[in-house]
Each structure stands twice: as structure tokens, then as C-alpha cells.
Chain A
Amino acid sequence: MGPLSAVLFEPVGCLAEFSPEPFHEIAVRLYGRKGKASRSAGREYWHLLNLMEASDSGSIEALEVEAADGAILYEDVLPALEELKAMGVRRLLASSLCDTAITRFLAKCPHQFDAVWTRANARGIKTAPLAHAIEAASLAPGHAMFLTDTAEGLVAAKSLGIHAVLMMNDPDEAKRLATHEPAGGIVSLHELPDFIRFIAGRYAT
């Protein structure tokens, strides 16, 4: 891995504690999903994105907004984002959530992102926000990383040549996802500046 100049963030699972319930509810109502919601909001969210990708039934924005409103920002997010800014690392929000949900989410961490991509302005979900964020920032994919806590997130980033870095929120889930060959992993956002510094330092020598 070479030096990284940008980090792409998907809020669900990486920046805040979301409830899985609203995403599950959308999947139940629009796609007839059976069974209980996963304990992981990230897994429930990406499962919903898979369903959205496979059919044309869309989403229920009100429930997405409910999820964003209820999300609790991880305590290490703001210090990490500030440090990345000071390091000159671009912070790009690239999400498959709707505009309104992202706007509500951004109220919890205002002025922290250099660019914001949603499924509306990216005109698509999963890889679309990532691809648009990279292209608009004139970045080589190999100079960016995407932080994710799901297998689908790893696949999406890798398919674009972006370094897929595992957010190891749950050790057991992370152990499973480590077999998907992520480019790296961190336990907490507070490690992210060091992650980027260490890679730069290793590359320099």
C-alpha cells in the first residue's frame, strides 16, 4: 500500500452507532424480508443495498432519516477527522443513504468533510458514491482508502481499486471479515491518523 491522500467514509458502521431496525424495516416493507434484524447496522444496511440493487423498489426515506437522527457519533470521530484535516488528508463522505438522511447526519459533525456524496448526487448506490467521490476529487483509487465494517463494503471498494480497510467494531465479525483480505484494519477511529502516517513512513523507507 502506498501513501494515502484521502479517506472515504460511509457513516453507517464507521462514524456512528446506527440502529439496524430502520434498515430492517425498509427491507421488510419493500422487499418482504423475513426474520429478525441483524445486531449490526452495517450488515442490515448493506443487505438493504443489495436488495435495492437487485430490484427497483427504492427505499423509505423517512426511515433512513429516522436512522440518521438516532445515530450516535462515535466519540473518536471528531478528533480523528480534525487530525486528518491537519495532515492534509481529504475526508470524503460517500454514502448510499438519501440526501435528507445525510444532511441530518452531517448536523452531528458539521464542516468535517471536503466533499459529500449520496445516492442522489452519485446517482446510484454501493460503488457509485465511492466512484464519484474519487473522480470528482481527481484521485487515483490507489491513493484512497474506504473504511467499512462489512464484506459488501470491502468488495465495493476493491472493485474500484480503492484500499478497503476494515473497521473492526466487533472482534468476531472482524475475524470473519479478515479472511476477505482487507488492505488493513483499525480498531478505533483514533488509530486512523496513525494508520495513514505509518503507511507513509513505511513507504518512505
Chain B
Amino acid sequence: MKKISIYRPTTVDDAIQILSQHGKQAGVYAGGTDLLVRLKNRLDQAPTYLVDIKRIQNLSYIKDDGQGGVQIGATTKLAELADSDLLQKRYPMLVEAIHMISSPELRNASTLGGDLLQEVWCQYLRGGYSCWRNGGYLCYGAIGDNSYYHSAMGGRLCYAVYPGDAAVALIPYDARVKLATPAGTKELTVEQLVPGDMLVDGRIQSHVVRFNEILTEVTLPAPKLGLRASFEKLRPRGVWDFAMASLALRLDVRGNTIEDSRVVFGGISGKPLREHAVESFLKGKTLSADLGEQAVAVALANAAPLKYNSTKIDMAKGLLQSGLVKLNGTA
């Protein structure tokens, strides 16, 4: 494992100061389920100085915001989210998705912030290949085995998929995040947080968080009346694996008419992929048994599968169809 030094600040300000001092050599350490693997694999982008934020007070909580919404501290463990009655009551689809992340053991250690900002799990990156995310200038996933963890929707130099499930499930709820930065607090939507491959501080990453910024909170607005949501995930193994395709679906239904929707695919693109074409199609439609089939016809028109992963598109379309069937039967 790469040699490291650990800082244990007790305030967010101190943590930011340390991160600023060490630049790209430093990284935030919370659950460690992604970071420690990166260190073990001696990846080029793995930090040398870890800033352990677990001692910072008030970063781990799930609380009612007083307006029908919920605030979640970034270091809250995924297991706590999975067991939260408050979340289950207001955002059951999010809880459903959290239950499908990794294994119970890892959910006990992993944090929500870590899940949102995790590095991609391309086997070539994790295997130490000199790819775009590991100091090189070539994507081995684009030309190698891309059956599972690579994009079927094109790429931007790196073709690994964004691996997180939490972001996919948070976007339909219009969730937002707060970042602590040297210039103060910055707020973004989750969709803005993980826009896919970006060059940030000279590194390719799926999120926009800079080296001296810390994700501190995720906020969910009060769920609307008539909101129906579902999350489904297909993976190579029935438990403990990343999505080959997933779908978080939200419908705002009045009577039997869809007034608004969010259609977000995971596991098929370098970002949680919001499918606006399907959202537009669904607007004003009546829930019916054959709506899924019609929606599939307009979905993922820009698909650009690699040699071995066209099946991901079929999977994603299947999830859309089954998701709409499921929500059709949900009052």
C-alpha cells in the first residue's frame, strides 16, 4: 500500500486548510471503502495525505428540515440511511436503492458522501493500467473487456461508468448538496455534482468537487403529493456488485395522469443519465399497461455501445418498461 500521513482535524475549516496546504496530494478520508482500495492499488490519483473528517462534529445526521424535507450529513453511513424510518417514510425509493449498494458490511463503513464521490471501478484503472485516470492518455476499457463497467452511451476519453447508486436515486427527488469551500458554502444539485468526466484540478473525475472542498450535506426537498418512485438495479451478481444498468424513476401523478417525471439511468454512462426525451414523452400521458413499451421506443436514442456492452442498453430499456409497470400498479 502507498505510504500515507493522516490528519485528524475537528472542524471543517481546519480540514479545508489542510487540503489547501497539500493540494492534490491530499484527499478526504471518511468511510474509506473506496479510498483505501485506491491506496492499496497504488493508483496515481490516490492521495498521500489523508484528511480524516470523521472527528468533525455534525457531519453525520439524518434530520427533518422542518419543511417536510430532510437533511443528511455527508459522513452518515449508508447503513444508517438504510435503517432510517424518516427516509423510509418520505423517500422509500432512496432507501430501496441504498439497500442495493454493496454488502451490509460495506454499508456499515461507507458514507453517503463517499458513495456520491467515489472513483470509477473500471478493472483497468483498479488494475493499475496507465489510463486517463491513472496518469496515462488512453482508455483501456474502450478497447478491452467493457462488458460490465463501461459506458454504452459514449465517453469523454474515459469510458468507465459512474458507479454510484445513491446519486441515481437522489436526482429524481431533486436533491441538492452543500460543499464547504475556502470561499464559503457552495450549493449544487446532485445532477450538477456528478456531471460525468470532467478535468478538475488536472484530474479526470466524475464529480466537480475541487481538491480543497468538502461535501458536507445532502438535502432533500419535501416529497410532492402524488409522487411515485421506484429503483431497480441489474448487476452481474445478485448481491454485492455495481449496476450493469439501473433506473430510478419518479412520476408525479394526479388522478391517472403523469404531470411530471424524472427518469435517471445508472450503470450505462459516465454520469447518472437523466433521460429527458422520456421525461418529455411521459408528460401528460395516462398511466397504462402499454405505456412502458411506448416509452422504451423513445429511450436512449443516443446509445453508443462499445464492443461488448450493447446488452446494457437492452437492460436499461427493460428496466424502464418494468419500472413503469410497477408504478402503474402503485396507488
Residues 129-162 of B at the A interface (beta carbon under 8 Å): 132, 136-140, 142-144, 155-157, 159
A156-205 interface (Cβ within 8 A of B): 165-166, 168, 171-172, 174-175, 178, 182-187, 191, 194-195, 197-199, 201-205
CB distance from A164 to the nearest CB of B (A): 11
Determine whether B180 belongs to the interface, using a CB cutoff of 8 Å to chain A.
no
Asked whether, in the complex, the Cβ of A187 is within 8 Å of the Cβ of B159, the reply is: yes
Q: Is the pair B156, A194 in contact by a Cβ cutoff of 8 Å?
A: yes
Residue of A nearest to B308 (CB): A171
Q: Among the interface residues B137, B139, B142, which one has the most CB atoms of the partner chain A within 10 A? A: B137
**Chain A CB within 8 A of B204 CB:** yes
Shortest CB distance A187–B (Å): 5
The answer to whether B199 has its CB under 8 Å from any CB of chain A is yes
- A137 interface residue per 8 A CB criterion: no
Instruction: Apart from A165-B137, A184-B138, list 15 A-B contacts with CB within 8 A.
Output: A166-B138, A168-B142, A171-B142, A178-B138, A178-B140, A184-B137, A185-B137, A185-B139, A185-B143, A191-B155, A191-B157, A197-B199, A198-B199, A201-B199, A205-B24
Residues of A within 8 A of B142 (CB): 168, 171, 174, 185, 187
Q: How many residues of A contact B (CB 8 A)?
A: 26
Interface: A139 (CB within 8 A): no
B residues in contact (CB < 8 Å) with A: 24, 132, 136-140, 142-144, 155-157, 159, 199, 201-204, 306-307
- Asked if A1 is at the interface of the complex by the 8 Å CB criterion, the answer is yes
Decide: A168 near B143, CB < 8 A? Known: A183-B137, A184-B138, A205-B24: yes
CA distance A194 to B156 in the complex (A): 8
Are B137's CB and A175's CB within 8 A? Answer: no
Closest to B144 in A: A175
B136 and chain A: residue at smallest CB distance:
A184
Nearest-CB distance from B282 to chain A (Å)?
A: 30
Return chain A residues, CB-CB under 8 Å to B155. 187, 191
Residues from chain A with a CB closer than 8 A to the CB of B144 are: 171, 175
A1-42 interface bits toward B, Cβ cutoff 8 Å, 1 = contact, 0 = none: 100000000000000000000000000000000000000000
Complex-state Cα separation, A194 to B24, whole angstroms? 21
Which 10 A-B residue pairings sit nearest by Cβ, starting from the closest?
A184-B137, A205-B202, A185-B138, A174-B143, A171-B143, A201-B199, A202-B202, A175-B143, A171-B307, A187-B142
Residue A204 contacts which of B137, B139, B156, B202 (CB distance < 8 angstroms)? B202
Residues of A within 8 A of B307 (CB): 171-172
Chain A residues with CB under 8 Å of B139's CB are 185, 187
Chain A residue, CB-CB nearest to B306: A171
Q: What separation, in Å, do the CA atoms of A171 and B150 have in the docked complex?
A: 14
Set A174, A187, A195, A201: member contacting B137, Cβ < 8 A: A195
State the CA gap A171–B24 with chains docked (Å): 33
Cα distance, A48 to B73, chains bound together (Å) = 64
CB distance from A59 to the nearest CB of B (A): 32
What distance in Å separates the Cβ of A3 from its nearest Cβ neighbour in chain B? 12
Q: How far does the alpha carbon of A197 sit from the alpha carbon of B136 in the complex, in Å?
A: 14
Q: Would B137 and A199 count as touching, CB distance under 8 A?
A: yes
